[in-house]
A and B are shown apart, each in its own frame.
Chain A
């Protein structure tokens, strides 16, 4: 349960605010991911970082800005969000190998944009 941690767990922000979500993994993994989970929708992959380099950006609006300073930490910087951005934001990590590998999720940050 403590392999991947996220802070804050809950966040309420106005549309003009700037905030950051933090994720930390203690599993020695080399890849980290940001997902958005909205009600009644599949998990949506937002960003993928491998060895601290962004390798995927799934057409995410520029109001979401990721940062990966090292292999253990991942941030999601938020600014001028919209109410439809309210969701659960999940971080995950994995150890990339020759084939697919298990992703381990953090507890998520429940975001409400007013």
Chain B
């Protein structure tokens, strides 16, 4: 089955700097890669996703890149703000039935 590894587990950045989170996956058949943000005490919420027919996708200050050959994908947050502080999870489509295999999460702390 699918295995997703996520790094780093914690990331501290100064406000205004960029943050990068990287994930690798094992199943070359995976075609869908969402990223979720979970603020303390709240539900995971989708912030951006990418499918295998696209190499990069951007939405304002966040972007995701996908390298299918190397089986890794990354989340980039530019001009970080304190409200970006949260746990971020990557995921990869696993098998069928819409199943997702999640990474372990990255705790991002943005300091003013």
**Which residues in window 84-114 of A have CB below 8 A to B?**
90, 94, 96, 99-108
How many cross-chain pairs have Cβ atoms below 8 Å apart between A and B?
63
**Any chain B CB within 8 A of the CB of A80?**
no
Tell whether, in the assembled complex, residue A99 and residue B43 are in contact, meaning their CB atoms are under 8 Å apart: no
Residue in A closest to B33 when the chains form the complex, CB atoms:
A100
A105's contact among B30, B44, B51, B93, by CB below 8 Å, is which? B44
CA A107 to CA B102, docked complex, whole Å: 18
| Count of chain A residues near B, Cβ 8 A | 25
**Any chain B CB within 8 A of the CB of A42?**
yes
Chain A residues within 8 Å of B46, by CB: 102-104
Tell whether, in the assembled complex, residue B44 and residue A55 are in contact, meaning their CB atoms are under 8 Å apart: no
A106's contact among B4, B43, B97, by CB below 8 Å, is which? B43
Extra A-B contacts (14), CB below 8 Å, given A99-B32, A103-B98: A4-B43, A33-B98, A40-B104, A43-B44, A50-B97, A96-B97, A96-B98, A99-B51, A100-B93, A100-B100, A102-B46, A103-B34, A105-B44, A108-B43
Q: Which residues of A contact B (CB under 8 A)?
A: 4, 31, 33, 40-43, 45, 48, 50, 55-56, 90, 94, 96, 99-108
